Structure 1
Amino acid sequence: MTKTAAIIGGGVIGGGWAARFLLNGWNVRVFDPDPEAERKIGEVMANARAALPMLYDVALPDEGALTFHGSIAEAVEGAEWVQESVSERLDLKHKVMAEIQGASTAPIGSSTSGFKPSELQQGAPDPSRIMVAHPFNPVYLLPLIEIVPSPETDEAAIAAAEEILTSVGLYPLRVRKEIDAHIADRFLEAVWREALWLVKDGVATTEEIDNAIRFGFGIRWAQMGLFETYRVAGGEAGMRHFMAQFGPALKWPWTKLMDVPEFTPELVDMIADQSDAQSGHLSIRELEKKRDKNLIAMMRALRQQGNASGRLINTHQRTIRHLPKAANPLVTQDRVVPVDWTDLNGHMNEGRYGQLFSDAAEEVIAYVSADEAAPLAGTSEDYAARGFNYFTVETTTKYLAETQAGERIVVHTRITEGRGKKLRCFHEMKRASDGEVMATCDQLMLHVSLETRRTCEPSDEVLAKVEALAALHAKEN
């Protein structure tokens, strides 16, 4: 049964929340009095549809229904989760919370960047179901959600929130104690304040500061965080050595963290002018698309290493992946071409066709070797863990049409030879939108013992599945 989320407030953050839920198969009901809300969310949805599927190697669930409603009470009807993303005014949030709870008993997450949950709960009919669920833009790509309860928040509501958010690929980080601005924004505020001083004092421009972050510690932080980065900086002696070496710096005038420059019109103009010079030639949508592609490439790189957000994506992918069903042909790939698979010509490069057809073959192996009693049932890794696999010994690939980043493609596979040690597959890569065949691959594999590294006969169970598929695929459709 399709689940329903209600989004109250359809700005940049609310639109991102709507996209995250919708693209993970939820119905989404939106309330926002702005007459431009539908257009604005539509533009965010367009970016999300282009970006989020490229993080995964399988198709996301079918989209739910996106609907817009004329009142909060109508929007929250039947919702399992309500996300409040209105402006950062406490009086407005109190009014919205009261209206939500007048029509729904669902848990409510607030996207607030700074208010504490106890402040949000003031005067609420049921404070136990209100908490902070603070996301990071773009919500449809970045996984971190700060979950901040107060002592009044019900533990069951928190657990429900964590389960719901995890199910759509997010990482709910529970904040131990409520505090103004939670965890991440306090870091951001500290960096922001120091950056203001550096600009005001003429030490650096906005672009130079951004370069210091994106070409240096920003990349380290993206995959290792703060403390682990400094642990590595301590060398073999670890964090203790780092602290001993750099601890005295805490007394040095390296930061104006506790002192904030006055926000004068001159300072605002200086920063705005420098920012215009840095990025004014690009529209906001162009900057968003640039950001999204960079994030995709970085997080897909982290996927390959199984670290940080990449590990989270791999875990989520396992929950939405399904073994192929016996059919003529097998559907062995259904995915969107990611941006990091393209070359200077703007189309998918030759090596990625090999990757795609290799992944398709892995699905065939997973199907014929599936053992529900095994710890990794339903994957080719499971079969390798049992000491066997199929090795490719010959391929012939034909490239028939250009394939662009963002296109959804499917691979149809037929077993053209399945006897003894041999398993031959014929793959057709098709554009999902019109069925055009874009490439084909004839692939011969041999069954191998990973202990001897030599060919060997598969088990009777595996061979029976191979032969059954070969017989099925020999029939005319």
Structure 2
Amino acid sequence: MTHKVAIIGGGVIGGGWVARFLLNGWDVAVFDPDPEAERKISEVLSNARRSLPSLYDKALPPEGSLRFHDDIGPALDGAVWVQESVPERLELKHKIHSQIVNLGPADAIIGSSTSGFKPSELNAHGGRVIVAHPFNPVYLLPLVELVGDGQTCARASDLLRAVGMYPLTVRKEIDAHIGDRLLEAVWREGLWLIKDGICTTEELDEVIRMGFGLRWAQMGLFETYRIAGGEAGMKHFMAQFGPALEWPWTKLMDVPEFTDELVDLIADQSDAQSGHMSIRALERLRDDNLVGMMRALKKTGSGAGGVLNAHEAALPQAITRDLPVTVDRTVPQSWTDYNGHMNEAHYVEASAQATDRFMEMIGADAEYVAGGQSYFTVENHVCYLDEMNEGDRLTITTQVLMGEGKRLHLFHRLLTAAGDVAATVETMLLHVDLTTRRTSLPSEAVAERLGQFARNHADLPRPESAGRGIEGGK
């Protein structure tokens, strides 16, 4: 059954809501008087289509329909959920909420994306709005703070979980809810650190993303501090660090005046930090980082990874009937699967690293590729012979079976620390002109270095599995 959501206000947050619902199979109607709304939302959708499906190992449902309306009434018609994301002006929200109540379905959930207003303020003139405050980008970050009527928040929670979000119902209404109160505290302290010349905007951001930001992403604040207490636990941490709360470390309650000088200082530093990238490029960088981090969190089910796992489990399953050492490393934890062994795909990944290293050894390196020439893999054949585990030493040797003309035929042996062969990967590559995208002869220098390896390996025994396809019936 397809649900319909009406998005009132198509800015940054509204556009994120559009993407979250649409890419999870909901029909979406948008009302926004901005003549640029459709263009802006289409750009947000382009980034969302690129990033959100990358979080999952199952396909998301087919996209719903997307329609833009000039009048709010048709946008509301038949909506199960109405999400208001207009600017943070209370009188404007009252006006919009009145129209939603008068023109929309009587049983529709009405959520407001407000970051600061309480339900009692939003409903001062008889509305039935709950706070449904998300975090940007809405289509990737799972948290939604719900504040308001308990039964409505419970209904909202069920629908939000169905689109892969993590609804958290706030126990009491409070200005700015939970998330933004924490962010505001860090923001205020940050303003003082910059104003007083302690750091720049870039240095402050580095402290967060290189340190506690990564810890917070998977454990939050208090669980992180519990670990800081060691074996003695949280009580020990509180006893040890609690007195620091009385020390004059912070200017938290003393907010600097937003003078033109302070605004200019922060704006200039931010321009120096990120002004060389467009907003869309920054969004794509942010999205790629979030995808990588959140996929890593899926492995342990920690934080947002647990939400992804629960959502993914609910998605329908598609039904369909004397050699050079080119790699020397340990097997990372991220290469292992449910049985603790190195996943089969990473045998190929490791062999690809060996191929890249061998290409460097014959001069087909990054500079060579930048000059418009490279080798492309056209075929791989893998034989799995032994298990590899996290932390195991992995060494790969590479034998040249043929290296003449346009062809490069390699045989990689993946060796354990004991020297046993864990797998072999036979790889055929063709030399390509990157300008024409057609096969071509390598440069004289590359051909000469490759020929030397080929001559050195010519007298070696041909590997038993070389040229062998899949064998069956034994």
Counterpart for residue 292 of structure 2: 297
Counterparts of 1:265 and 1:354 in 2: how far apart (Å)?
65
One-letter amino acid of the counterpart of residue 315, structure 1? A
Deviation of 1:354 after TM superposition, in Å, equals 11
* 1:199-239: CA deviation from partner (whole Å, max 9, x where unpaired): 01011111110000000000000010000000000000010
Q: Paired residue for 1:147?
A: 146
Change over 3 Å in CA distance of 1:20–1:116 after alignment to 2 = same
Q: Is the 8 A contact 1:395 1:442 kept in 2?
A: no
1:174 to 165, 169, 173: 169
Say whether 1:282 aligns with 2:277: yes
Equivalent residue, structure 2, for 1:54: 54
Identity %: 63
In structure 2, the CA distance between the partners of 1:241 and 1:23, relative to structure 1 (3 Å rule), is same
Distance 1:399 1:62 in 2: 38
Please name the residue that 1:185 is paired with.
180
Q: Is the 8 A contact 2:112 2:131 kept in 1?
A: yes
1:175 partner amino acid: V
Counterparts in 2 of 1:162 and 1:200: CA distance versus 1, 3 Å = same
Question: Counterparts of 2:470 and 2:64 in 1: how far apart (Å)?
Answer: 37
Q: TM-score, normalised by structure 2?
A: 0.69
Worse overlay, 24-33 or 300-309:
300-309
| 2:306 is aligned with 1:311 | yes
Which amino acid in the other structure matches residue 201 of structure 1? Answer: D
Q: What is residue 38 of structure 2 aligned with on the other side?
A: 38
8 Å contact kept, 1:143–1:171:
yes
In structure 2, C-alpha distance between the alignment counterparts of 1:165 and 1:252, rounded to whole Å: 42
Deviation at 1:253, TM superposition (A): 1.0
User: Do the aligned residues in 1 keep the contact of 2:381 with 2:425 (CA within 8 Å)?
Assistant: no
Residue pair 2:381, 2:427 contacting (<8 A) in 1 also: no
Equivalences for residues 22-101 of structure 1 within 5 A:
22-101=22-101
**Are 1:255 and 2:247 matched, yes or no?**
no
Alpha-carbon distance between aligned partners in 2 of 1:249 and 1:275, rounded to the nearest angstrom? 32
In structure 1, the partner of 2:13 is 13
Q: Is the 8 A contact 1:21 1:28 kept in 2?
A: yes
Q: Letter of the aligned partner of 1:145 in structure 2? A: V
Query: Gaps spanning 5+ residues in structure 1: where?
Result: 328-336, 358-392, 402-440, 447-477
Is 1:209 the counterpart of 2:204? The answer is yes
Amino acid at match of 1:123: H
Paired residue total: 347
Aligned to 2:362: none
TM-score of the superposed pair, with normalisation by structure 1: 0.68
Question: What is the Cα-based RMSD across aligned positions, in Å?
Answer: 2.9
CA-to-aligned-CA distance 1:77-117 (integer Å, 9 cap, x gap): 00111100000000000000010111222110100000001
Q: Classify 1:201/1:100 alpha carbon distance in 2 versus 1 (closer, same or farther; 3 Å).
A: same
For 1:443 and 1:313, how far apart are their aligned partners in 2? 39
Q: 2:132 — aligned with what? A: 133
Partner residue of 1:434?
none
Equivalent residues of 1:394, 1:443 under 8 A apart:
no
Note if 1:238 corresponds to 2:240.
no
**CA shift for structure 1 position 321:** 3.5
- The one-letter code matched in structure 1 to 2:113 is S
How big is the shift at 1:304?
A: 1.4
Name the residue aligned to 1:458: none
Consecutive unaligned residues in structure 2, runs of 5 or more: 322-344, 357-365, 370-375, 385-421, 431-468
What amino acid does structure 1 have at the position aligned with 2:38? E
Select the residue among 108, 113, 129 that pairs with 2:110.
Answer: 108
